C-alpha cells in the first residue's frame, strides 16, 4: 500500500493538473494490476464502506483510538476540532511503529482484510483496525483511515484519471469512459479489459458517456448568430440512453444504471427496430453547426412526444454525430421509432 499512499500524498500536495496527471500515469505504469484497479475505483469516487458494508463508524473510530493512543476522549474530540479531518486526526494521534512492517499490497488490504470484516461483530472489526494502526506508518495510516471514512478527496476528477489511462495506454479516452460506465468490480481482469485496444463484445451494450450541459459563463452574444443554433424543449423526467445491438435492447440512466424492464413500452417499441446497431438518446440537442453543445431531455412520465429518440447518435453502425443536427434529430428519431406509443 506504500505506492498508493505515496500517490495520495503527491496528489494531495499538487496544485497543477499536469503534475497530477503525470503522477497518475507513473502510478498506473508501475503498480500491480490488482492494486491499479482498486486505485482506479477509489480515485473515481468508489468506496469500500457504506450502509450495507460497515467496517467502522466514525463513532467507533473515535472510541477505539483513545485507549490505543493513551488519551482521553475529550482530547480526541478537541484534536478533531482543530484538524478538521477525522482520518488525519486518527493518524496524528499515533506514533509510527518502531520497526516498519512488510508492505502489503492495496488489493490485499481491501480484499482480504477489510471487505471480509464488513458487518462482522464489533470485536473482530476493532481487532483488524487496531492491528493496522499499530503496523502502518503515518502516510499509510492516513490512507487507511481515508478508506474507512470514505473521504478520499484529493482534487482528482474521474475525467483526469481517464486522461491518465488514455495517455498511458494509447486508448481513446471516449472508449475508456464508455467502458467505465455502469457497475464494475476492481480486478486485474477488468483493468485489462478497460485498456484493451480491441473492440470487445461487451462494448456493444455500453452507453456513450452522457454529454452534460454547462452554464453559460459569458454574455449570450458571445455564442454568435442565433441562426446557427438549434433550440429544443427540455422535458422533465428521466434522462436515458437506448441501445439496440445484436438483437438486444438496453436502457441506461444518467446515473449509469441499467433500467431494463423499467420502461417496457420503450423496449417493446425498440425491439422491432428496422436496423441493427442503433444507439439512441432520448432528449433534445442544442447544437452549434459543426459541434455538439449539449444533449438534454428525458423519457417523460407525462403525456408528451413519444418515447422516441430526439438525438440518434448511431444508426445501423453509422455515426449519427457526423451528420448535421437537423438531419439526425427529430426526423431521424421519428423514422427509426415510427409507431412508438406515447407514455401515459
Give me the CATH number covering residue 107. 1.10.3260.10
First-residue to last-residue Cα distance in the chain: 54
280 is a domain residue? yes
- Which residue in this structure is represented by grid cell 473521504? 151
Q: Give just the sign of the alpha carbon dihedral 88, 91, 92, 93.
A: positive
Do 136 and 224 reside in the same domain of the chain?
no
Total number of domains in the chain: 2
Q: Is residue 189 part of a domain?
A: no
For the stretch 276-293, what's the b/e string if a residue is b when 16 or more beta carbons lie within 10 angstroms of its beta carbon? eebbbbbbbbbbeeeeee
Is residue 238 included in any domain, yes or no? yes
| 18 assigned to some structural domain | yes
Asked if residues 297 and 284 have their Cβ atoms less than 8 Å apart, the reply is yes
Q: State the burial class of residue 130 (Cβ atoms within 10 Å of its Cβ: 0-12, 13-18, 19+).
A: middle
Are 250 and 243 spatial neighbours (Cβ–Cβ below 8 Å)? yes
Regarding whether 107 and 227 lie in a shared domain, the answer is no
Cβ–Cβ under 8 Å, residues 328 and 284: no
Interacting residues of 135 by C-beta distance below 8 A, sequence separation 6+: 97, 101
CB atoms within 10 A of CB 220: 8
Distance CA 274, CA 324 (A): 22
The pLDDT tens digits of the residues spanning 187-240 come to: 999 999 999 998 877 776 667 777 767 777 788 888 888 888 877 777 777 778
Q: Do 135 and 12 share a structural domain?
A: yes
Q: Do 236 and 112 reside in the same domain of the chain?
A: no
pLDDT of residue 124: 95
Are the C-beta atoms of 141 and 91 separated by less than 8 Å?
Answer: yes
What's the pTM value of the predicted model, to 2 decimals?
Answer: 0.68
Examine the fold and report which residue of 149, 184, 199 is the final residue of a domain before the chain moves on. Answer: 149
* Matching residue, cell 464508455: 178
Residues 245 and 132 in one domain: no
Would you write out the chain's pLDDT as a tens digit for each of its 344 residues? 999 999 999 999 988 899 999 999 999 999 999 999 999 999 998 999 877 888 999 999 999 999 999 999 999 999 999 999 999 999 999 999 988 889 999 999 999 999 999 999 999 999 999 999 999 999 999 999 999 988 777 888 888 999 999 999 999 887 888 888 777 899 999 999 999 998 877 776 667 777 767 777 788 888 888 888 877 777 777 778 888 776 777 788 877 677 777 888 888 887 754 444 455 544 432 333 333 333 333 333 333 334 444 455 555 555 554 455 555 554 444 444 445 444 43
Cα–Cα distance measured from residue 165 to residue 173, given in angstroms and rounded to the nearest whole number:
8
- How confident is the model at residue 115, as a pLDDT? 94
Q: Domain ends where: 149, 177, 200?
A: 149
Per-residue buried b or exposed e for 39-51, using 16+ beta carbons within 10 Å of the residue's own CB? bbbbbbeeebbee
Cβ 180 vs Cβ 81: under 8 Å: no
| 192 part of a folded domain | no
Residues 6+ apart with CB under 8 A from 322: none
Q: Are residues 144 and 248 in the same domain?
A: no
The per-residue pLDDT for 295 is: 32
Rounded CA-CA distance 203/207 in Å is 8
pLDDT (0 to 100) of residue 142: 95
Instruction: Count other C-beta atoms under 10 Å from residue 92's C-beta.
Output: 16
What per-residue confidence (pLDDT) applies to 227?
A: 85
The residue among 104, 128, 149 that closes a domain is 149
- Written in H, E and C, the secondary structure of the chain is CHHHHHHHHHHHHCCCHHHHHHHHHHHHHHCCHHHHHHHHHHHCCCCCCECCECCCCHHHHHHHHHHHHCCCHHHHHHHHHHHCCHHHHHHHCCCCCCCCCCCCCHHHHHHHHHHHHCCCCHHHHHHHHHHHHHHCCHHHHHHHHHHHHCCCCCCCCHHHHHHHHHHHHCCCHHHHHHHHCCCCCCCHHHHHHHCCCCCCHHHHHCCCCCCCCCCCCCCHHHHCCHHHEECCCCCCCECEEEEEECCEEEEEECCCCECCCCCHHHHHHHCCCCCCCEEEECCEEEEECCEEEEEECCECCCCCCCCCCCEEEEECCEEHHHCCHHHHCHHHHHHHCCCCCCCC
Residue 342 inside a domain? The answer is: no
In a domain, residue 171? The reply is no
Q: Does 138 share its domain with 247?
A: no
Same structural domain for residues 138 and 37? yes
pLDDT tens for residues 36-66? 999 999 999 899 987 788 899 999 999 999 9
Closest CA to 331 of 302, 308, 314: 308
In a domain, 113, yes or no: yes
Residue ranges making up the domain that contains 17: 2-149
Amino acid at each position: 500500500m506504500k505506492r498508493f499512499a505515496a500517490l495520495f500524498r503527491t496528489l494531495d500536495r499538487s496544485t497543477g493538473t499536469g503534475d497530477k496527471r503525470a503522477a497518475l500515469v507513473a502510478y498506473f505504469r508501475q503498480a500491480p494490476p490488482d492494486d491499479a484497479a482498486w486505485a482506479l475505483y477509489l480515485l473515481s469516487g468508489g468506496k469500500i464502506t457504506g450502509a450495507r458494508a460497515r467496517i467502522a463508524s466514525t463513532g467507533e473510530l473515535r472510541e477505539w483510538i483513545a485507549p490505543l493512543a493513551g488519551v482521553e476522549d475529550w482530547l480526541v474530540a478537541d484534536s478533531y476540532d482543530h484538524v478538521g479531518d477525522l482520518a488525519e486526526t486518527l493518524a496524528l494521534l499515533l506514533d509510527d511503529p518502531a520497526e516498519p512492517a512488510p508492505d502489503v499490497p492495496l488489493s490485499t488490504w481491501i480484499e482480504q482484510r477489510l471487505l471480509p470484516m464488513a458487518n462482522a461483530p464489533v470485536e473482530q472489526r476493532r481487532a483488524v483496525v487496531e492491528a493496522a494502526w499499530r503496523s502502518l506508518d503515518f502516510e499509510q495510516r492516513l490512507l487507511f483511515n481515508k478508506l474507512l471514512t470514505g473521504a478520499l478527496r484529493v482534487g482528482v476528477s474521474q475525467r483526469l484519471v481517464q486522461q491518465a489511462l488514455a495517455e498511458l495506454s494509447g486508448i481513446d479516452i471516449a472508449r475508456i469512459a464508455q467502458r467505465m460506465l455502469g457497475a464494475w468490480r476492481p480486478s486485474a481482469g477488468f483493468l485489462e479489459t478497460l485498456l484493451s485496444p480491441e473492440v470487445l463484445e461487451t462494448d456493444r451494450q455500453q452507453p456513450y458517456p452522457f454529454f452534460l450541459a454547462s452554464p453559460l459563463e459569458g454574455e449570450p452574444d458571445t455564442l454568435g448568430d442565433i441562426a446557427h443554433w438549434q433550440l429544443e424543449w427540455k422535458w422533465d423526467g428521466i434522462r436515458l440512453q437506448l441501445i439496440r445491438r445484436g438483437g438486444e435492447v438496453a436502457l441506461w440512466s444518467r446515473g449509469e444504471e441499467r433500467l431494463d424492464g423499467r420502461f417496457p413500452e420503450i423496449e417493446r417499441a425498440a425491439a422491432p427496430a428496422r436496423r441493427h446497431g442503433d444507439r439512441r438518446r432520448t432528449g433534445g440537442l442544442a447544437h452549434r453547426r459543426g459541434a455538439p453543445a449539449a444533449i438534454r431531455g428525458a423519457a417523460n412520465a407525462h403525456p408528451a412526444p413519444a418515447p422516441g429518440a430526439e438525438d440518434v447518435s448511431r444508426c445501423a453502425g453509422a455515426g449519427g454525430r457526423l451528420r448535421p443536427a437537423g438531419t439526425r434529430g427529430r426526423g431521424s428519431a421519428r423514422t427509426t421509432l415510427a409507431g412508438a406509443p406515447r407514455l401515459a
